[in-house]
Amino acid sequence: MRAHIIENGKVVNTIVVKNLTAARAVLPGVQLIKATGGGIGDLWDGTNFTPDPDVAIRAAKAKAEADFSSVNSQAAGVLDDLIAAMMTSAVMPSAKMPDSVKEWQTKRQAAKAAMEGT
């Protein structure tokens, strides 16, 4: 069976034990409970498990930062493409500037596909 080790009202580890009585004899002074729910990092009030709000906040913040980074990276790529198009247009006046970002992206993807042979 699985048992949670509780320290200061928090699940700090989950271990496999034959039974709680034997495990408590081997680990005196360690608070062990049957792992019927919850997980490492959750809070234990003696009856119920609840997610640690600090952990949930850190996880949400990390996801938001990763999402922002991804969007920022995509925007930088589009900006680079537009600058390249503008420079091409300035150097070669006969080159036609795309009417929109979407048109530029479509042409860029088609050129990439042609170069990759797909």
- Residue 34 β-bridge partners: 3
Domain match, 72 and 90 both: yes
Same domain, 69 and 29: no
CA–CA separation, 78 and 95 (whole Å)? 19
- The C-alpha atoms of residue 13 and residue 32 are separated, in whole angstroms, by 10
Q: Which domain holds residue 38?
A: 2-51
pLDDT(90) > 70: no
In this structure, the answer to whether residues 64 and 47 fall within a common structural domain is: no
**Percent with pLDDT over 90 in the chain:** 36
Q: Which two tokens stand for residue 40?
A: 């490492």
Answer whether residue 91 shows pLDDT above 60. Answer: no
Q: Are residues 44 and 91 in the same domain?
A: no
42 and 85 share a domain? no
Same domain for 84 and 37: no
In whole angstroms, what is the distance from residue 65 CA to residue 74 CA?
14
Residues 43, 61, single domain; the answer is no
pLDDT at 53: 80
Mean pLDDT, residues 99-107: 71
Task: Give the chain's mean pLDDT.
Answer: 79
Q: Flag whether pLDDT at 37 surpasses 60.
A: yes
